[in-house]
Structure 1
Amino acid sequence: MTVAASSLLLFLLAAPDQAAAEFRSAYERGLAALAGQRFKEAEAAFEEARHLQPGHALVYFNLAQIHAHRRQFEPAIVGFRQAIAIDPRQPQFYFGLAVLQTQLQRFHDAQQAVKQLLRVRPKYPEAYLLLGRIAQEQGDNAEAERSLRRYLRLRPGAVEGLWRLGVTLSAQEKYEEAASLLRTALKQDPQLGEAHYNLGILHSRRGEEQLARRHLEEGARLMPDNAQAHYQLGTVLARAEKLAEAEASFRRALELQPDYAEAHFALATLLRRTGRNEEAARSMAQYERLSAAALADRERTRRLSSFHLEIKSLLESDRGLEAEPKLHELLALDPENDLAYYRLGQVAFLRQDWEGTLKDVSEALARKPFEPAYHLLAGMTQERLGRDEEAAAAYERVVALADYADAYLALGRIELRLGKTEQAVLHLRRAVKLEPQNPEARQRLREALAATSTGSRARKGSGPGP
């Protein structure tokens, strides 16, 4: 072997080790920067690692966490889903996605991510804690109780589970068990402000004023920036005729939350009792202004909800022409309402106004770029215009954000037209897996498999001769 050949062989043998070392170095730099909350530095290091090893799931997971921290929701969702696609056995990937969907109040999507997690790891405790939190957010105390009890069976004595279940039981007026759970949480962590606060509220509801005061004082001390804790403490102090202390609590609540209507009312009442009528009148005027604004906001919310329900009903009845003026009324009330623009796009689509559809759906996406249904409508419209590349790009964004059978089917359909039969098979298999009874998906998959088989035979037949 010549010297040159030997050098080449040594280089080729060393190259994988060198690449692996470079990857480890970049990845570890990313972890260190992320731990130190140096997010720009962490992102650069993880991007370097991704370039070196494009198929490493943890790189995508960490990049997703950085995007989520920056409130870059679309790339965060995509990153979590890419991590899952590369390594679907890792529960933390599903959990990260579920937490993000919960923050976005996309509770159905969050629950679906948790269900996928539990298929991978049925006894993953934090999954049940998160399901409990989601149920609490939705006001479903019965479901919250079930999930939190399951969490505590897996993590007996876990403090967050104890106080959250205590709050849920208290909301259901199961006061004895609620109080016991909150006291148990405080035995484990006497500095837990949430437990003190909620135990104080529970005792206040039961008329146990001394206990309520003790726990609310601790809650306000441990959570000094919590306006509600100071307000609730103030109400207990006022009932105990500790007016100077109550006034200080109400004023602190208003420092923290100047639009706290109930605190303005409580302060005004206290000031009137102590003869400070002029200041009391100012506080009461603030209360009345804020109450009127809250009432107007509730009425606006009610009208928006009514509009959405009526418009949904009209669209489901193929009465798009009647829905359109309602949508414009809705946008006059709420110009940033992404769903209204999407609905306008649906109306334009039904009357085959393709450019109008694209205009409206672009407005919707400008406001909520992580909504897969909006990208789906954009893709359907581009497909109707014969713009297969643009349509495919929109459908790719859909499946990057969510598992929509219609999007996988559309991608397969386009890829068949473009002669990309192997990609078509992959996407159509996914469509059939999601919707096994979809006749178009099954038929297109048969076509793609037949085209793939024909292409394979043709390639064999055109091989090199003897």
Structure 2
Amino acid sequence: MGIALSHRKLVSKSSAPSLCAGLRSIPFLLALAFLSYPSRVDSQTTYQEELKLANEASNSKRFEEAISHYRRVFEDTASRAIPRSVLVEAQTGLASAYFMLHRYRESLDTLKPLIPSSEIASRKQIPSEAWLVQGLDYLELNQLADAIYSFRQCLARDPNSANARLALGDALARSDRLEEAAKEYEDQTRRTPSLADAWYKLGLAHSALADGLLGDSERKSSGNVVALQLVAEELLNKGSNLLAAKSLFHLLHDAASHAGAHADLGHALLELGYAKSAESQFHKELAVDPNSPLAQFDLAQIAALRGDWDEVSAELGKVSGLYPRAFRLLLEFPPAGLLRQAWIEKKTQIPTTFAGSSSGELWKAWLDGSEVTAAPAQKKTSASGSCLGNILSPPGAWLPEACYEVLRVRL
């Protein structure tokens, strides 16, 4: 018993000092850990602070200062676990700062680790901003093919990037690919109608295209007005209304009374939304060619915008009576944008008096976008007596189809 007690006491005495020492050391260890914690956190957050300072400097256009902060993000990367997203942001920001200082080669070198030429699969992970900066570098260095590729990669990731789309247009224009450039500018005007730069660039592209087309046409045709008109009508068929309008203005400057030119110009202006200017051109056309089906048909569209349904009925009656085949062809094209929009928004309403007629039913189906199978039945226009006057009309003027049939039989 005594031995046991003495052994227990011995054990207690021998173990107590080490336990107490351990307990006494805990506060010291906690204090040591606490004191070391801020420095460890600080080492982890330094790159975040540097990145924040770099972005602030860049946004304030202090690009040299921004470059210094971006570089510090990359210091001692081996000893710190920096997320890839941070490194990508820093590389892109650093490249952007170099670009703003016109240091394009350094900008490209900064992006090389991010956009390796050999690792095609990894390109999916590259952000659109990096492709944009690379494209701008190449554009400034006049490496146009590389710039076009980079801008297309950027737009594949961010189709709404106005900077990339306009820069792509610039690269295409400088590569003598004006039609492609105009398409990019036009696409941007649809996406951001209030962006003046897009409209300005589109106007320049169209002007250059028109000058080139007119120059080529003049050289090939030696001033042949008909050839110039065919060029303009081809542009109208492609939907290049602004370009067609400019071509027709050039044509009418030299041949103001050329049959068909005012009607084509009026049609282009109507498609562009200038109804009053278009109406003026149609009346000029009718002064040269009183039976122009295009002028009469488009005047019917303008009358519908005004709500003048008597004129709509009268103009449609003229076209369908004199030119039933041409009338059917005109109905294959969609309504002018202004009229189509007014119809969709129910700003244009067909009165019951007109809606119940054959022309009214046809007109409504056309505005609805339904298939129009036939023109309304009209009384055949007499060809006797009046054909001689039509035959002697100015070259290029429309000959009523009834007169054409008479001539075809006689010849």
Tell me the TM-score normalized by structure 1.
0.34
Tell me the TM-score normalized by structure 2.
0.38
Higher RCO (Cα < 8 Å, 6 or more apart) = 2
- Bigger helix share: 1
Quick check: which has more Rg, 1 or 2?
2
